Chain A
Amino acid sequence: MWRYIKWGFSITVLLVVGLFLHYTLPQHDVVRIVNTYQERQDLGDWTRIFWSTPDDQASGLMNRDVQFIQAIGADGKPMVYRNEDTGWSWPPYFKFDTANLQTEADDLKSTAETPRWAMVTHYGWRNLYFSTFPNAISIRPVDDPTATIIPWFNIVFFVILAIILLMLRRMWLQFRERMLDPVAQDVAEAWDGVEDRGEAAAQKARGFWGRMKAWFGTFKGRPRR
């Protein structure tokens, strides 16, 4: 029973952390830019969490214009990115160049007959049912749409994350070895002392009635101490 609860808990935590990282970390697509547009978006419901908060003014707005980049992937599937500043808020991309990015995207527009491929770095999820869009971070032209992209940033990120986790573990072990264990040992020793003394005192204080009680106790089948 407890085992299943523990497993369920661990899996839930792992899932939440994994989804969080998958949403936040950058990903790369090779696409052909088709068009860009701007559309007023309502921000009043719970999907607010998927839109950026580009500046402090924006946090109080119920709706505002958002820029979008329409693209067709190298595999032929459509993809729509939003193009929003992240500013100083989460996630920490510190993106301020939305207008420039829109210009670059406009510049890279091409048709199916004469495609110009571009690599879009983005974070976030495209979800049709909740109308969420990944946020484009940067666009740069590429020659070969089939080239393998090595996610250097994510590799470095996970290596550093692993180092930090190992460091935390070592710090905790060091703390336990140097701080908690000696205290626990002292307490255990002190406690043994108290118990010994207590026992001696009890033996001494037992007296006649105590001995009688202990003797009666033997009838109940309890071991005599």
Chain B
Amino acid sequence: MIGFLRVAIFALIGLSVIYWLVSIYKRSTERERLEKHWDKNRPVAAPDRDAYIETGMAEYEKSLRRKLIWLVYVVPMAVVGVIIYIVNVQ
């Protein structure tokens, strides 16, 4: 049981670091995408570059793509579950 707790705690720490890094990275690419989009298209509806980017970022924070980063936690846990099943039950 202690062994399980040890794995759980280390996995939680490791996955949180990965989650944090990936969310920073995706935020950065999203901002870059918005900047480039504005620079190329100059949307008439959004004359202010900073406002356009901030609105886009606020939308991104609520988007599905942002929430998909939670897969960083879900996928490894599912993989561990599958490994436990295959090794012990099958």
A contact residues vs B (CB 8 Å cutoff): 55-56, 87-89, 92-97, 100, 137-138, 170-171, 174-175, 178
Interface residues of B in 37-90 (CB under 8 A from A): 80, 83-84, 87-88, 90
* Residue of A55, A95, A178 contacting most chain B CB atoms (<10 Å): A178
B contact residues vs A (CB 8 Å cutoff): 2-4, 6-7, 21-22, 25, 28-29, 31-32, 80, 83-84, 87-88, 90
A175–B22 Cα distance when bound, in Å, is: 11
A89–B21 Cα distance when bound, in Å, is: 26
Q: A171-B25, A174-B25, A174-B28 are in contact. Are A95 and B7 (CB under 8 A)?
A: no
B87 touches A56 (CB 8 A): no
Q: A56-B2, A56-B3 are in contact. Are A95 and B28 (CB under 8 A)?
A: no
Which residues of chain A have C-beta atoms less than 8 A from B88's C-beta? 94-97, 100
A92 touches B2 (CB 8 A): no
Expressed in whole angstroms, the minimum distance between the Cβ of A171 and any Cβ of chain B is: 5
Can you pick out 27 interface pairs between chain A and chain B where the beta carbons lie within 8 Å of each other? A55-B3, A87-B3, A88-B3, A88-B4, A88-B6, A88-B7, A89-B3, A92-B80, A93-B83, A93-B87, A94-B80, A94-B87, A94-B88, A95-B87, A96-B84, A97-B87, A138-B87, A138-B90, A170-B25, A171-B21, A171-B22, A174-B25, A174-B28, A175-B25, A175-B28, A178-B28, A178-B32
A1–B80 Cα distance when bound, in Å, is: 46
List the count of A-B residue pairs having beta carbons below 8 Å apart. 42
Expressed in whole angstroms, the minimum distance between the Cβ of A193 and any Cβ of chain B is: 26
A174–B25 Cα distance when bound, in Å, is: 7
Q: A87-B3, A171-B21 are in contact. Are A92 and B87 (CB under 8 A)?
A: no
Expressed in whole angstroms, the minimum distance between the Cβ of A25 and any Cβ of chain B is: 13
A194–B87 Cα distance when bound, in Å, is: 66
A137–B83 Cα distance when bound, in Å, is: 11
A138–B6 Cα distance when bound, in Å, is: 25
Q: A174-B25, A178-B28 are in contact. Are A137 and B3 (CB under 8 A)?
A: no
Which residues of chain A have C-beta atoms less than 8 A from B6's C-beta? 88
Given contacts A92-B80, A94-B84, A96-B87, 18 further A-B contacts (CB under 8 A): A55-B3, A56-B3, A88-B3, A89-B3, A92-B83, A94-B80, A94-B88, A95-B88, A96-B88, A100-B88, A137-B87, A138-B87, A171-B21, A171-B25, A174-B25, A175-B25, A178-B28, A178-B32
B28 touches A94 (CB 8 A): no
